[in-house]
Structure 1
């Protein structure tokens, strides 16, 4: 049995009997005015973070959600689009699609603004998304892509890139590893299905996004997720997994490399009232300006006495000068 078959079997079981404690279901979902979420839907919140960032969801976007789970985030996305077919949710597991459909019917009873037609559930998988080229504004997935082996992850990211409109956004939440996962854990198909052994390091994860063609990546959050202990996982030292929320933009990769925003800022401290690097970055004296990692590095190297660059906060929601 392949790891994808193991994953399908695992989530078919989870669809029929909610696995409380799988991923981060113990955390509270995003609260929105007028949105009620059933206990059953919360129990099936098989994610490691959130992909629902209101600032990314203006103007009633068309959203493609990959891996529907219990339907919670599909419902949250529908909150912003509120129209027939505004959200397309894709899942290869029939039991999961059926469970999500039941949960969304219940949601319609509890939320007067919601109609099940707002979420169109389709059979399909991340490697062959059942939508046309350049047809959606947002692609989202929560704690799914980390399950894939690197070659399959590359396929999934290329598919997401294909279906996004120019300027569209890939919103993801996945575990990442603070050091490479030992091979014996990577090869454990059930641990991989449980989002515990397929995680890449941060550097590998971001490189996969850039290789797929995304020219700008913004980190929304990075926080502890799970600790793999020595006794249970037969490793020499504990291995921390982190949860990474990111937004990747379908824009051209600049000639000098992609823009990766991790919450760094640049602060001009020279004698003039402002600093202009003649590359689109104007810094007022003493005022922190959000910059991408690439720009922070360049400014620090070229003006070490005049510009202070701060460390990554692993949180960025716009406002940069790049």
Structure 2
């Protein structure tokens, strides 16, 4: 990612300044809680994508910067809400905010950040981009609710799971890229191409995260390894392992995933089954396919320095597997 970060350094410094300014509030807990989470985001991938998309299509002004800051606020707000819903212990390698300030404060600060995001979007003065990000906020919420109602379902299909993460995770990647292109006045064809790039990039990122929960470490994830399993989330590696072990492990899966009745050693057994059934390889292969699809979406663009830098970002998404 070094090339992309270097190209966007000045823009991202301006985005960071906007984020800091709009986190401010006379209510002390708001900037303190928001900073606890936002400060842990070193790369700011989604706002970086907004800036890079705008520059790739020839945008030269600062119109994309407020949208990029808005994207980061939307993302942070969803993380705050997610951690309360999931009772997560860690986020970005730090103690989850709700364990420090309490669930009510986390939810309400998330609401504050959503409000700030919409103020920034309005301030950007680009109605099509506002529409894109507003729709994304709705789609993300729908994805969260769908996951909440189906995440412990051992009968969840791979297709439905992909639809969940397409809404819950990939939609904001897609909207980030598309809104950046729209703000720079790109053609509809180029906006669609960057939306596809963002969507497939987001899917690749999420699938690798799913795999790392069973084969990574806390430093890589920014959360505890095995959290998805302990929360009963039926992510793709788990779904594939459940399908491939069949009746032999059905009682184990029903107890640990469906009923979430887990005991010492259950995660280690689940992880071994995920490995034995090659569910990790299948998940990572699918992530690689989405990364390749993301890169293919950039074929219509001239080979300026921004294009290979974005292609490298797609490679980075799956390089985290090692």
Same fold, TM-score > 0.5, yes or no: no
The structure having more radius of gyration, on CA atoms, is: 1
* Structure with greater strand share of residues: 1
TM-score by length of 1: 0.29
Higher RCO (C-alpha under 8 Å, 6+ residues apart):
2
* Structure with greater helix share of residues: 2
